[in-house]
Structure 1
């Protein structure tokens, strides 16, 4: 199991900068299909319709990333966790900013508690 060191303030700032620079959210998983992508699992700025649209019936400008493109096979992770990876990526768009805000809030509380302890 990997162990992680707490992020420094500089690392948190860098993570926040990356999150702010990314395409605005929320992001969603889309299940699309076409003769080139074949069963495309994508991360999109709009929700999935459940119709597995084929291009050109979906707007490629709505796609942020893909976790499965089978024809030709150029996005196809060996462990076959396409849907799980897509869910992780899509959720990261809203989860990372929330986690960063919570870390900052907790650090602020700890700093205030430390000042109170010093004053007592």
Structure 2
């Protein structure tokens, strides 16, 4: 696997802006399975409460994205990685702001250490 190029400061800013513009986190994965939403796998702003939270009891405004809607068949990715995709989407929402901040912190630390090393060489 090739090592990706370094993210530019502009790319970090864009990621940060995307995260700030999105629905606030944390996000969670919810499974809904009833006569109205057969095997629905969704990304939600609230944790999954298990089988007690079903239509019409769940609030559709809590759903950010769906990775599987089988009935009616609206969302159904060919590789059948519905759960994996939902967990990735939720993890990305929850982690991208932390990763951007960590990259920036490490870059500042590296710049500081480089400047210190330059001073010691002079």
Give me the TM-score of the superposition, normalised by structure 1.
0.92
Structure 1 position 118 matched with structure 2 position 114:
no
Deviates more, 1:95-104 or 1:33-42: 33-42
Deviates more, 1:31-40 or 1:71-80: 31-40
Question: d(CA) in 1 for partners of 2:2 and 2:57?
Answer: 43
Tell me by how many angstroms 1:2 deviates: 5.7
Q: Is 1:66–1:75's contact at 8 Å kept on the other side of the alignment?
A: yes
Tell me by how many angstroms 1:71 deviates: 1.7
Aligned residue for 1:76? Answer: 76
Question: d(CA) in 2 for partners of 1:52 and 1:65?
Answer: 21
Structure 1 stretches of 4+ moved >6 Å: none
Structure 1 position 26 matched with structure 2 position 29:
no
- Note closer, same or farther for the CA distance 1:56–1:13 as it changes in structure 2 (3 Å cut): same
Aligned residue for 2:105? Answer: 105
Q: Is 1:33–1:52's contact at 8 Å kept on the other side of the alignment?
A: no
Give RMSD over aligned pairs: 1.5
- For structure 2, the residue ranges without an aligned partner over 5 or more in a row are none
